[in-house]
Amino acid sequence: MSRDIFIGDLQGCRAPFEQLLDRLKFDPAADRLLLAGDLVNRGGASLDTLRLVHALRESTVTVLGNHDLHLLAFAHGRQAKANAEFEAILDAPDGPDMIEWLLQQPLLWLDQERRLALVHAGVDPRWGPRMALGCAREIERALADDPGVFFEHMYGNQPDGWHPELSGHDRLRTITNVLTRMRFCTADGRLDLVAKGGPERAPAGFAPWYENLNPGWSGWTLIFGHWSQLGRFDNGRVVCLDSGCVWGGALTALVVERESRRFEAVDCAALS
């Protein structure tokens, strides 16, 4: 691959996605596209966005975000709230193929050689790369084995943290919440899934999850989305790429080529 191009949350915003790919002169034969999840919902063009990602699937890696899981739950009859963008995907002739493809996507991607990782929200403070990947694989197996049952039990904020002794649906739900919903946690992994806002709004006793990053990630760059109030962020260990495209912010890419790294973004407000 010539370049690894990581892009933040699309959330059904096809026009900025296409503009960013054009600006980067993305070449599917030479480049690898890596998406931080939340491909759909709220942006108004979820069907067309998912179609474009699906068309590029041979050169694309995407991790599942919470909005992608909402779509999959909706498709399996486990999400009753009306959603016109989801309905459009399910009613499309190619909808079933895209849903089946999305169902097979990972929740965590690792490149051991380049020490790059991609997740939608974050990782538990007690998880190094190997443990995090193992936990993600538990969700992927559950989605492959019986997605209907998984989605029936997916929603909820309890238990409020992962523990090795957790089992069954409680364990799967908590792992899912960590990988796709987390922003704030304690050093021992307790989650606050209610608080919103930027890092300065952390509840008492909690901190942004990346401040409690496991030492096993030393030497890695862990890339994530999900946190538009944080925006583009790079502290040398983690990179947030959710710069609020769906809210009129920007759609941001991190371009990794050999030893060089740079950011590129398009202004989404100008395209609304």
d(CA 271, CA 248): 9
Confidence of residue 130 (pLDDT cuts 50, 70, 90): very high
Q: What pLDDT was estimated at residue 144?
A: 97
User: Are the beta carbons of 5 and 26 closer than 8 angstroms?
Assistant: yes
Confidence of residue 259 (pLDDT cuts 50, 70, 90): confident
Half-sphere exposure of 13 (CA within 13 A, CB side): 32
pLDDT digits (tens, 9 = 90+) for 171-224: 999 999 999 999 999 999 999 999 989 999 999 999 999 999 999 999 999 999
Q: Considering the domain 4-271, what is its CATH architecture?
A: 4-Layer Sandwich (3.60)
User: Are the beta carbons of 264 and 29 closer than 8 angstroms?
Assistant: no
Confidence of residue 138 (pLDDT cuts 50, 70, 90): very high
Q: What pLDDT was estimated at residue 272?
A: 54
Please determine, for residue 1, whether its predicted confidence score (pLDDT) is greater than 70: no
pLDDT digits (tens, 9 = 90+) for 61-114: 999 999 999 999 999 998 778 999 999 999 999 999 999 999 999 999 999 999
d(CA 202, CA 266): 29
For the whole model, what pTM was predicted? 0.97
Please determine, for residue 29, whether its predicted confidence score (pLDDT) is greater than 70: yes
User: Are the beta carbons of 63 and 36 closer than 8 angstroms?
Assistant: yes
Question: Positive or negative CA dihedral for 219, 175, 60, 82?
Answer: negative
Q: Locate the domains of the chain by residue range.
A: 4-271
pLDDT digits (tens, 9 = 90+) for 89-99: 999 999 999 99
Average pLDDT for residues 246-257, to the nearest whole number? 96
Pairing, β 60-62 against β 108-111:
unpaired
Q: What pLDDT was estimated at residue 184?
A: 98
CA nearest neighbour of 119 among 65, 160, 74: 65
Total residues found in the chain within this entry: 272
Confidence of residue 271 (pLDDT cuts 50, 70, 90): low
Half-sphere exposure of 129 (CA within 13 A, CB side): 17
